Structure 1
Amino acid sequence: MSRQPPERIPAKSPKARGTGRELRADARRNRERVLQTAQQLFAREGLGVSLDEIARRAGVGPGTVHRHFPTKEALYLAVAIDQLEQLIASAATLAATDDPEAVFALLSRMMANGAENATVKSALTAAEFDLRTAAPGVAAELTGHVADLLDRARTAGVVRDDVTAGEVMALVAGAFAAIQHAGAQSNPTRSAHIGKIILDGLRPPSR
């Protein structure tokens, strides 16, 4: 059974902990800078990077990091949710196009994102945190975009008729595992190749 995260990290409009007020613009910028720096350091140097070192690299004081993210687990979770929100923004942009192949572009980005953030996702799994439980609204919104783009692709005949959004999300999760098993997390070209092999299985069989 999944544990509850140490702190619920809001998906949108971050608020100061313990209040109903939205963060001031400068505090929000600092939080975003910390998230971006943490994501880059975790991907390059692993999860052993300290909160104080993340603060130094982000150009903020240690108190700023500890105030927003009192534990490493809270920061892992926030990084993962921030990445989901970026994917949702990409999905919204793709949805505004008429491209029936847009679902493949979104799924490719999801796989690349998962490969880049494999260490954070592994840490959350080890800590028994489930993003679908910790941030159900964000996870559901992304799945909804996948379903909408999949419907468009199905109508255009560029994906098979018998595939569901749930199955597609399972394939994306499987792609993360496949990329990790192949040791391709730090090799974008190889991880993209693995992802393409998986996505090709969504296309209608050749007649």
Structure 2
Amino acid sequence: MLDTATGRPLRADARRNYERILAAAREAFATHGASASLEGIARQASVGSATLHRHFPSRRSLLEAVFHDRVEVLCAKAQELAEESEPGAALFSWLRDLNAYAADSRGLAASLLHDGRGTDFLQRNDGCEMMIATAVGELLHQAQQACAVRPGVRAEDLLTLVNAISLATECHDDNAQAGRLLDIAIDGMRLHECDRVDTTRETPCCIDHERC
């Protein structure tokens, strides 16, 4: 593990402090949003403010570390779902995970991007945007190959959708509305029997449209 500030490997004691700070920051940002007190995070981690700032010279560097860590967990979950579930179910389950994460982050992503300085961080080859785009792209491709999702849906559409839901519901005290909105969107992107096409005949697979 490298020190965020110096880029050098951390000693064992410094690594423990680093992990405690990250754990405290995740909890604080989830509860209080991106403006959570850094001094409060240091107290929760049982370290001094100087130790926190040695590892994370700015609020922004701490936000980036927390954001990246949680996105890695999300993308690992995407791989698990792809291996264990049907393609459509895997995509929809992961979108719900992403939607819940966006709601729980309480402005975390927006705080990184609001002034445009977050672009380089998110678009690095190992950045969060790249990891999420890759995960959703792979799940979507598999779902469309399995005729579970409409062919016109794109990965960027799904990410824009989740972001829009997050922005629209960020002032609510719970995530219930965000979940309902995503469920409505998921129902709209499903490929139903009456929409499926026999590619050998280019005719609808389901002839009885009234039944569909």
- Which TM-score tier does this pair reach, normalised by the shorter chain? 0.7 to 0.9
Q: For structure 1, which runs of at least 5 residues remain unmatched after alignment?
A: 1-12
Q: 1:25-174 to 2 correspondence within 5 Å?
A: 25-100=12-87, 101-130=89-118, 132-135=119-122, 136=124, 137-138=126-127, 139-174=129-164
RMSD, matched Cα:
2.2
Would the aligned equivalents of 1:43 and 1:119 in 2 still touch at CA under 8 Å?
no
Deviations 1:40-88 (A, max 9, x none): 2123234443322211112223222111111112222222222212211
Q: Secondary structure at the match of 2:54?
A: helix
Which secondary structure does the structure 2 equivalent of 1:23 belong to? coil
Match of 1:179 in 2: 169
- The letter for the 2-side match of 1:52 is E
Note closer, same or farther for the CA distance 1:98–1:46 as it changes in structure 2 (3 Å cut).
Answer: closer
- Letter of the structure 1 residue corresponding to residue 22 of structure 2: L
Return the letter of the residue paired with 1:128: G
The one-character-per-residue Cα deviations of 1:18-58 (angstroms, maximum 9, x if unpaired) are 34x43234433432322221122123234443322211112
Moved over 6 A (4+): none
CA–CA distance in structure 2, aligned partners of residues 55 and 160 of structure 1? 48
Tell me the residue number matched to 1:7. Answer: none
Conserved? CA contact 1:160–1:202, under 8 Å: yes
Amino acid at match of 2:96: S
Tell me if structure 1 keeps the 8 A contact 2:72–2:131. no
Change (3 A) 1:48 1:178: closer
Bigger Rg over Cα:
2
Q: How many residues were matched structurally?
A: 190
Assess if the C-alpha contact under 8 Å between 2:71 and 2:131 holds in 1. no
More displaced stretch, 164-173 vs 106-115: 164-173
CA contact (8 A) 1:179 1:194 kept: no
Residues 71/15 of structure 1: CA separation in 2 closer, same or farther (3 Å cut): closer
Would the aligned equivalents of 1:46 and 1:119 in 2 still touch at CA under 8 Å? yes
> Could you tell me which amino acid in structure 2 is paired with residue 14 of structure 1?
L
Which residue identity lines up with residue 104 of structure 1 in the other structure? F
Identity within the alignment, %:
33
Q: Contact (CA 8 Å) 2:3, 2:55: kept in 1 or not?
A: no
Please say if residues 34 and 106 of structure 2, whose CA atoms lie closer than 8 Å, have aligned partners that are also in contact: no
Judging changes above 3 Å, is the alpha-carbon distance between structure 1 residues 82 and 198 closer, same or farther for their aligned structure 2 residues? same
1:205 to partner: Cα distance: 4.7
Which one has more relative contact order, counting CA pairs under 8 Å at least 6 apart? 1
Question: Which consecutive unaligned segments of at least 5 residues does structure 2 have?
Answer: 195-212
CA contact (8 A) 1:91 1:145 kept: yes
Distance 1:162 1:173 in 2: 19
Distance 1:71 1:168, change over 3 A: same
Separation in 1, partners of 2:182, 2:66 = 23
Inter-CA distance 40–18: structure 2 relative to 1 (3 Å threshold): closer
